[in-house]
Structure 1
C-alpha cells in the first residue's frame, strides 16, 4: 500500500468510525505506527481531521472526501464506464458533464476521441482544466462559486449559462442512484446545478460504479423517470439492475 492509498484508507476509516487509534490502524494497514502518525499529521495540516493523543477524530469535511482522495476507489470500473460512455456520443454533440471522479474519466475518454468535434458544458474546474487545450472540443464553463471538495462550481451564478443552453446528453456522476429514488448527491449546491444540466439535456446517462447503486444521498438530483441510461460495472446487483430496467432505464454493464 503506497502513501496515497493509505491516506485514502485513513479518511475512509475515519468517516466510518468517527475516531481511530494509531496502534490499531497501524496493525490493520500493516504499516508502522510512526508511518500512521506522519500520515495523520499530514491530513491534520490539511484540516481533514483533528489529531488527538494516540489517534485522530473526524473533522466535518472528512465525511465528504475531497476529490483527490477518491480517484483510487473503483478505478478500473470507472475507466471501463467512461470508455463505454464515450462510445455513446455522436460527432458534433453538445455534452454536459458534472464533477466527480467518474465524470472526470468520461471527460478524458471523450477527449481521446479526436473524431468527435464536441461542445462540452461543465461546472467542474478540474475537467475544464484538462479539456481547455483540446482543439477538437468547444468548452463552456458554467461559472459560479467553487466547492473545494469536488472542484465544482455551484450557487446562483452557476445557473445562468446552462439555463440558456440545450444539451444533447448529460453524463451524471452521482453519490447514489436508486431505481425508486433516482439520482442524488450529498451537497445541495452540487445537486442544484446537476439537476439543471439534466433538465437542459435530451438524454441523461448516469455513470456510476456498482457501489453507488441502491439507496439515496442527502439531495435528489433527478427522478428515475428522467434517467435515460445507466452505465455501471459487472458487479452490480442483478436485482437492482432488473429494477432499473423495469423503470425504463437502459442499463449497460461493463
Structure 2
C-alpha cells in the first residue's frame, strides 16, 4: 500500500501513521512530518485538517496533538501504565514532605500516586488541589485537611482551571507544589498541552519556593504544546531513571536537582 491509498476506515496510510506518531509522541510539528514523509508542509497540513475533522487528533498551530477523545481514553490507561515506576516516584517524593506541611497537588496519575503515598503517613497536612481525581484519593483522611479549588473541568480526571482558579491560588502560600508535566522543549523547558492547566501550574509555582516535578522517564523525549517554565523554576525533578545527557547538562546548569526513585 502506498501513502496515497485509502484504508478501510477512510484515511490514507500516511494519515494512519500520523495518528500513530501523535499517539506515541503526544505532539508533532508540520515540519517534522513533512520531512518524515518527504512531502510538502501543505500536504501534511491537509492531512491534519482532515484528521482533526474526524476527531482522530487535534490540530494546533504548526502541528498536531491528541484529540480530546484520545486524551480521555489515554487517561483510563495511564493509571495502570508504568504503575510500579509511578509508585516509586511517589514514594520518593513523599519523603520530602514533613508533618504539618501545606501542599499543592497538581493533576496527573503520578500526582495521584503521591496522594496515595501521603495517606496515613503524615499528620497535619493541608492539601490544596485543582484535580478531582487527586482529591478523591485523600478525601476523608483524618490527618489531612483537604481543599479543592474550584474551576471549569478540563479533562477526564476532573482537572479544574480558569481565571477564578488562578486567582484563588494566588492568595495561598505553599511549602511544596508538586507539578505534573508532559515533556521537555529543546532548551530544557518543561512543557504541557493545555494552556489553562499551565496557567494553574504557574500560579501555584509562584506561591512556593519548592516546586517539584514528578514524571517517569517516558517524558524525557517528548514535546508538548507550550512551556510551563524553565528548569531553574523548579527545585527538584523526581523520576524513575536518569535523563539523557543533553537534559542533564541543562538541568545542572539551571540548578535543578535530579532525584532518581
Q: TM-score, normalised by structure 2?
A: 0.71
Quick check: which one's strand share is greater?
1
SS of alignment partner, residue 165 of structure 1: coil
Conserved 8 A contact 2:102-2:175: yes
C-alpha deviations, 1:42-87, integer Å up to 9, x for none? xxxxxxxx9xxxxx98263244344222212221111100000000
For 2:56, the equivalent position in structure 1 comes to 58
Q: How many residue pairs get matched?
A: 206
Asked if structure 2 preserves the Cα contact closer than 8 Å seen for 1:176 and 1:217, the reply is yes
Q: 1:144: how far off?
A: 0.2
TM-superposed CA distance for 1:252, in Å, is 0.6
Q: Distance in 2 between matches of 1:225 and 1:155?
A: 26
Match of 1:105 in 2: 113
Q: What is the DSSP-based 3-state SS (H/G/I as helix, E as strand, rest coil) of the residue aligned with 1:58?
A: coil
Is 1:223 the counterpart of 2:221 in the alignment?
Answer: no
Residue number in structure 2 paired with 1:88: 96
Distance, in Å, in 1 between the alignment partners of 2:132 and 2:104 is 13
1:169 is aligned, of 172, 176, 193, to: 176
Counterpart residue number, 1:16: 20
| CA–CA distance in structure 1, aligned partners of residues 233 and 124 of structure 2 | 27
Out of 172, 178, 182, the residue aligned to residue 189 of structure 2 is: 182
* Aligned positions of 1:7-156 closer than 5 A: 15-16=19-20, 58=56, 60-66=67-73, 67-113=75-121, 115-156=122-163
Check the 8 A contact 1:14/1:58 in 2, yes or no.
no
Q: Which runs of 5+ in 1 are unaligned?
A: 1-12, 20-49, 51-55
Conserved 8 A contact 2:112-2:137: no
Contact 1:178–1:214 (8 Å) recurs in 2: no
Runs of 4+ in 1 over 6 A off after TM superposition: none
TM-score, normalised via structure 1 length: 0.73
- Cα offset, 1:118, TM superposition: 0.6
